[in-house]
Amino acid sequence: MSLSLSIADGVAEIALDDGKVNALSEQMLESLLEAIAEAAKADAALLIYGRAGCFSGGYDRKLIAAGGPACDAMRAAGDRLTLALLDYPAPVVIASTGHAMAKAAFMLLLADYRIGAAGAFSISLNEVAIGMTMPDAAMPQARARLAPSWLNRCALQAQTLDPEQALEAGFYDELATGGDLLERARDKARQLAALHRQAYRETRLLLNAPLRAEVVAALAAS
């Protein structure tokens, strides 16, 4: 199974595991969107994580290379994921269980708290490195969430970061060893879930409003 959802004690856990690199195909993205919607209906704090060693390699590279309607549909689903994460009505935590590339790295930037796996893992906005111009709706996310001193290296130069550099750049809030990663992420999700929900929801919407407006404007113009 590529994706599973469980909800218990006010926390919804979405696990991504396609047995490979958790490529964000249209099917994976649609499943992820459905799971997020179900978690939102339950008013649960959200924890997303991947298989050991890989959070996600980003969009399906085969579809990107082929282009056409299937690629467009995948990207459209990815744009809806961006808005779903920005609009989520409760805390969002991501446990990055390993490599996080391209769209997966952007997912990190949209979460409230990000815990990365320490180790020999790569985190990158690698669009330029693979011959893609950074999408108009993606650049505001990088500007809003990355440390200014790292923005050029990450967005323009497509530098591949190790977890320690990713922590400094702003992709992560903390690092944990593989065995402790999920338990630490679950503790953080429960901690945030215990905060006053209405105050958290309304403040989260206010915090994300400027970025959301930029993303929506960029999508409308594209």
Condensed to tens digits (0 to 9), the pLDDT of residues 177-221 reads 978 999 999 999 999 999 999 999 999 999 999 999 999 999 999
- Which residue range forms the structural domain that includes residue 171? 3-221
pLDDT attached to residue 1: 58
The residues, ordered by sequence, that sit 6+ positions from 176 with a Cβ below 8 Å of its Cβ are 115, 116, 117, 118, 184, 185
The number of folded domains in the chain is 1
Here the CATH number for the domain that contains residue 107 is 3.90.226.10
pLDDT attached to residue 179: 86
pLDDT attached to residue 64: 83
> Of 218, 61, 211, 92, whose CA–CA distance to 146 is shortest?
211
Q: How far apart are CA 134 and CA 172, in angstroms?
A: 21
pLDDT attached to residue 77: 97
Tell me which residues of the chain have a pLDDT lower than 50: none
Cβ atoms of residues 103 and 65 within 8 Å: no
